[in-house]
Each structure stands twice: as structure tokens, then as C-alpha cells.
Amino acid sequence: MTGAAIAGMHVTFPGTMRQDEVWDGYFQRHYDGPRRGLAKRIFANSGVVSRHGAVNPLVEDASSWSTARRMERYLTEALPLGKDAVAGALDAAGLRPDEIGLFVVCSCTGYATPGVDILLARDLGMAADTQRLFIGHMGCYAALPGLGAASDYVVSRGRPAVLLCLELTSLHVQPPSDDPQQIVAHALFSDAAAAVVLVPGPDGAGVADIAAVTDTATADHMTWDVTDLGFRMGLSPKVPDVLSIYVADLVGRLLEPVGLSPADVDGWAVHPGGPRILDVVRDRLALPESALAESRGTLAVHGNCSSPTVLLILDALRRRAGGPPRTTVALAFGPGLTLYGALLQL
């Protein structure tokens, strides 16, 4: 039985914006009056130094745009961004688009029919018999079930697969509100596209296992509602507390069957939903702060890009000085309230 090995990755971004410039030039006016002080503290403590936006609020104020207008812009921006990410990953893997058997696309920030999966497969030159899977509204953890579906296909069919995670959260800036959850979302979220190519490989290489747990009793802690003015995030401050209950058991389910403990893992790709989430994972797993260097660094440089973020961290780990880790645990969290984990091995 072969495994599913990662043969190529590529990440790409729209324009870069500095967090302090976005605050000074837009959000301090957006949150005028008594709420400005709270908003300023949230932006300053977000852990984000720079971020990316297909829609730059310093140039365009999308807060009053209809959902229809936002979806039209999504398609305009998503296609070149996704094409660049997938083409770069295929080049890194040394594969042609028409050699891909399955194309998985994750996105919760825009919709179109025909979907971006069809349009990108067409523009990239994938074969007519390439299978496609579109994953929507899973949010920040979507990359890991996407990775699981792609790896299962590679193992069962013996053909390459591509996973693309593409999010344009900048399209969904909301009208001014006193809701702290909206302020947090505006301080954290960013745009990106990340693609991974999986190919048949030696047993144990690449994706070794995927695990998940969902606490439906806390489903209202993280929401993503479609409104007439775009998609509106709900993000309870209780999310880190829920994660703290489940994360150690989830990691144990990944590691114990292969005789490993957290101390044996030399690569951690933890989705940085915010600084406090990283603190909770570090403390519950008894990790040194250095284990989260790539996760915190990704948050600082790129912000929370939703589903691509964990792939951005994996890419950073693969490029780190001293070579890539031999064993990596990837963790991501999202609506449900859902925790997903993946064990990756060289």
C-alpha cells in the first residue's frame, strides 16, 4: 500500500497592507466614538503586523456593498490568485495539469456557478475526466478534511491530486458595529491562496492520518452567516476554552497509534485563530514556545487567512533553516465547533 506524499506546494497573496496603516487610514474612522478605544486595543493585540487584501479598505470601502457585488468581485479576484497557486504547486511537483486525477477546492468566502473549481480546471488545462470536489463553509479548518480527501484519492486510485484553499475575507468587511466579535474579525482576517500537490509515495510518507472532533453543543461559538451585506463572522471569546478541552485527546489519537508523543513531534502547524488560541494549544500540550514560532510568525506576517493558513504554516516549516521536520502535526479549528488534526511524516 502506498502513501500520499506532498510533492509540491505554492502560496500566493493579493496586495500587502500594514496593520497599523489599515487602522489609521480606515478602521479608526469605521469605529468612531466610544467603541474606538476597544477597537484600537483589539487591533494592537491581534498579533497581526501585516495582512493581505484583494479589496484594500484604504482604497475601497466595501462595508456597504451588497452580497451580489461582493460575489462578482470574488470571481474576478479568485481566478488569477487560484491559478497562480495551483500552477506554482504543479511546477514544484514537476507535473502537468492534465495529469491530475482529483482537484479539491476549499473556499467559504465566495460562490459562483460554474464554480471556481470548474473555471480553474479549464484555465489551467486539466483533463476533462479530472474529478473535482468543492468544500464550502467549513471555514478555517477546511484544509485538513480537504487534505484527507485528496490523500485518500491518491492512495486508492494511485493518481495525483491537488488541494487548493482560497479565501478572500477582505470582501466581507461589515458596517460599523459595537459588537466586539466583529472588531476581532476585522483585526485578524486576511486573504491568501495555497495549493498542495499529492502523489503516490512510499508507505508512511506524507499524510499519515487525519482526526477530528466536533462539539455541537458549542456550535453557536463560531458562525459565518450570509447576509444582504456579505458574510458576517460570529466569534465567541469562549472558543479557546472549548479547544482546551479537546486538543490534547485529538493529538493523542494521531500520535499514540504510531508510538509517538508530543515531545517526538518536530513540526507544529497550529492554525492561529488568534494569539490566545496558540497559548491554549501550547499549554495543553506542554509545548515549548519555540514550537509555535512558524504559527505565530504566519499570523504576524499574513494574518488569519482562514482555510489557507495551516498550509501557509506547513510551507514555512518546509522552508525553515535546518530542513523540514520529519514529523508534523497540523491543527485547525472552525465552525461546529470543530477541531481537525493531521499527522504528516517524511
What value does the mean pLDDT take over residues 21-50? 95
Please, which pLDDT band fits residue 33 given cuts at 50, 70 and 90?
Answer: confident
In the chain, where are the structural domains located?
3-201, 206-345
Cis peptide before 337 (omega within 30 of 0): yes
Catalytic residue numbers, as ranges:
140
CATH class of 3-201: alpha beta
- Cis ω for the linkage preceding 114 (within 30 of 0): yes
Q: Give the span between the Cα atoms of 315 and 289, in whole angstroms.
A: 19
pLDDT of 174-192, one tens digit each? 999 889 999 999 999 999 9
Residue 204 pLDDT grade (very low, low, confident, very high; cuts 50, 70, 90): low
pLDDT category, 203, cuts 50, 70, 90? low
pTM of the model: 0.96
- Give 111-168 pLDDT, tens digit per residue: 999 999 999 999 999 999 999 999 998 999 999 999 999 999 999 999 999 999 999 9
Question: Do 255 and 262 form a contact (C-beta atoms < 8 A)?
Answer: yes
Sign of CA dihedral 64, 232, 301, 29: positive
Fold of 206-345: Peroxisomal Thiolase; Chain A, domain 1 (3.40.47)
**Residues 51, 19: contact at Cβ < 8 Å?**
yes
* End-to-end CA, the chain: 16
Same fold, 3-201 and 206-345: yes
Residue 91 to residue 88: CA distance in whole angstroms: 5
